[in-house]
């Protein structure tokens, strides 16, 4: 099988596996490594210590999977056209259904198995956002989309409601052209962020981000954000994506049943959520990304909303 034929077959398998976007990049050290180092030096990662662990490895996939020659990047659409209601505790769209780590991870493993069947000498490693790899950078290099000013990857035909996944392969495949940036002069996401977390185009200070505060931050005291408007978010935040014109024009409902929202994950009254027990939390958010914030963090978010500190905004 020629290089061109193998590339074509690999892409066909990826699309048949249910991924809407697929692209290929030549593996090597990332040119964004310097930007990562600068971002870390400014402590923009906050308490996410894992971001600062082995930054050299994070910016070089050859240190993650020795022998890697090509990076297959895929994207899975998760958009569901349901709006949050005013006055309810809001959970980010990506966490409405089953945990994407499980759904995308399973698809990636099956896809890698199918790719290996094309040639017995092929080997690879599957990655999602828990792996030390700069997946947004590689999505751009593989032509899947461009990194918007809010830092999320945007596709011209699907918008930014995308989960990314990568397979590091030890075989040479034909690379795609890196994607051009189509944000232009638009700065809606920057202006819409209520906490000014997008400190400059393409740069997010996580410590100011509502998603960071409601998910990654482990402290019980949310007073550092007391002057901010959380717009009723109790897990994550979609504001910068909601206002993006590419999403307004091109968002398409997902075909993935696993991402369909659980009723308990949308438009729930915070008073009801505040009475939740630890066992209730585990049952309600089993196999859901919401479990990342842990019971203590989730209840903290709900109680802070009820206190009135973060509830002045809404759709």
What's the pLDDT at 224?
79
Number of domains in the chain: 1
Out of 102, 123, 129, 229, the active site residue is: 129
Over range 117-136, report the average pLDDT: 93
| Global confidence as pTM | 0.93
Distance CA(185)–CA(307), nearest Å, equals 39
Determine what percent of the chain is predicted with pLDDT higher than 90: 77
What's the pLDDT at 312?
43
Over range 163-182, report the average pLDDT: 98
Q: What are 30-57's pLDDT values in tens digits?
A: 888 889 999 999 999 999 988 888 788 8
Where would I find the beta strands (DSSP E) of 131-225?
Answer: 146-147, 153-154, 162-169, 198-200, 203-204
Whether 315 is catalytic is no
Tokens, residue 305: 């909303």
Contacts (Cβ under 8 Å, ≥6 apart) of 287: 98, 99, 102
Print the domain residue range for 34. Answer: 1-315
Distance CA(46)–CA(56), nearest Å, equals 19
- Give 231's pLDDT tier (boundaries 50, 70, 90): confident
Query: In this structure, what are the phi and psi dihedrals at residue 190, rounded to the nearest 5 degrees?
Result: -65, -45
What's the pLDDT at 227?
60
Helical segments of the chain, H only: 3-16, 33-41, 49-52, 55-58, 100-118, 135-141, 188-192, 210-211, 239-242, 245-250, 270-274, 278-284, 294-306
Q: Are strands 198-200 and 146-147 parallel, antiparallel or unpaired?
A: unpaired
Residue 173 vs residues 27, 28, 268, 308: alpha-carbon distances, Å: 10, 14, 47, 55
Residues in the chain: 315
Q: In 3D, which of 52, 39, 59, 40 has the Cα closest to residue 200?
A: 39
Is residue 259's pLDDT more than 60?
yes
Q: Per residue in 143-166, is it b (16+ CB within 10 Å) or e — as a string?
A: bbbbbbbbbbbbbeebbbbbbbbb
Over range 196-218, report the average pLDDT: 96
Over range 186-204, report the average pLDDT: 97
- Give 228's pLDDT tier (boundaries 50, 70, 90): low
Distance CA(26)–CA(72), nearest Å, equals 9
Q: What are 60-102's pLDDT values in tens digits?
A: 999 999 999 999 999 999 999 998 877 789 999 999 999 999 9
- Give 314's pLDDT tier (boundaries 50, 70, 90): very low
């Amino acid at each position: 099988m020629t290089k061109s034929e193998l590339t074509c077959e690999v892409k066909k398998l990826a699309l048949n596996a249910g991924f809407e976007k697929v692209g290929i990049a030549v593996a090597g050290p990332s040119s964004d490594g310097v930007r990562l180092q600068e971002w870390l030096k400014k402590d923009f990662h906050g308490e996410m210590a894992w971001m600062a662990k082995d930054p050299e490895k994070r910016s070089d996939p050859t240190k993650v999977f020795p022998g890697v020659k090509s990076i297959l990047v895929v994207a899975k659409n998760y958009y569901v056209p349901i709006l949050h209601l005013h006055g309810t505790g809001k959970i980010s769209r990506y966490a409405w259904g089953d945990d994407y780590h499980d759904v995308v991870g399973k698809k990636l493993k099956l896809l890698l198995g199918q790719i290996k069947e094309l040639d017995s000498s092929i080997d690879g490693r599957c990655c999602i956002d828990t792996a030390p790899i700069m997946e947004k950078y590689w999505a751009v290099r593989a032509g899947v989309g461009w990194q918007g000013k809010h830092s999320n990857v945007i596709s011209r035909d699907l918008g930014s409601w995308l989960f990314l996944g990568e397979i590091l392969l030890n075989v040479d495949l034909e690379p795609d052209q890196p994607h051009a940036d189509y944000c232009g002069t638009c700065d809606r996401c920057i202006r819409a962020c209520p906490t000014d977390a997008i400190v400059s185009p393409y740069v997010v200070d996580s410590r100011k981000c509502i998603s960071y505060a409601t998910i990654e931050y482990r402290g019980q005291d949310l007073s550092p954000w007391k002057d901010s408007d959380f717009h009723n978010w109790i897990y994550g935040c979609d504001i910068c994506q909601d206002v993006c014109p590419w999403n307004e024009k091109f968002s398409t409902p997902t075909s993935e049943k696993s991402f369909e929202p659980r009723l308990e994950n949308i438009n729930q009254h915070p008073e009801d959520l505040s009475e939740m027990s630890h066992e209730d939390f585990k049952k309600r958010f089993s196999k859901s990304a919401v479990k990342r914030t842990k019971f203590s963090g989730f209840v903290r978010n709900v109680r802070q909303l009820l206190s009135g500190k973060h509830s002045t905004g809404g759709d």
